[in-house]
Amino acid sequence: MSDAEYAAAVDDNRKRILHDSAITARVKAALLAARGIPSLSISVATYEGRVQLSGLVSVPDIVSRAGRVAAGVVGVRTVHNDIRVRVK
């Protein structure tokens, strides 16, 4: 790999990381704005526009609502919803 190819690959990776970070921030903001979703209990990770949600919530409805909110965010390609309902 030439120096130019290496530099281009590094630049592409930085752009992807910035883009994914922006998507993560938008998803977190959307979850915060959504009424009834305990957004602080939900973690968000993004890789190449694919969002993964994880965490524990109290009722099943929140799992599906959080997934729908995340899917509606600009830049999100897919949502992998790993949010689980806390067993009492």
3-85 CATH fold: Histidine-containing Protein; Chain: A; (3.30.1340)
Residue spans of the domains in the chain: they are: 3-85
Residue the block writes with tokens 């009722």: 59
Whether the CB-CB separation of 62 and 83 falls below 8 Å is answered with yes
| Cα separation, 25 vs 4, whole angstroms | 32
Evaluate if pTM is beyond 0.85: yes
For the segment 19-48, what is each residue's pLDDT rounded down to a tens digit? Answer: 999 999 999 999 999 999 999 999 999 999
Which residues neighbour 75 within 8 Å (Cβ) at sequence distance 6 or greater? Answer: 19, 22, 23, 26, 49
pLDDT tens-digit series, residues 49-83: 999 999 999 999 999 999 999 999 999 999 999 99
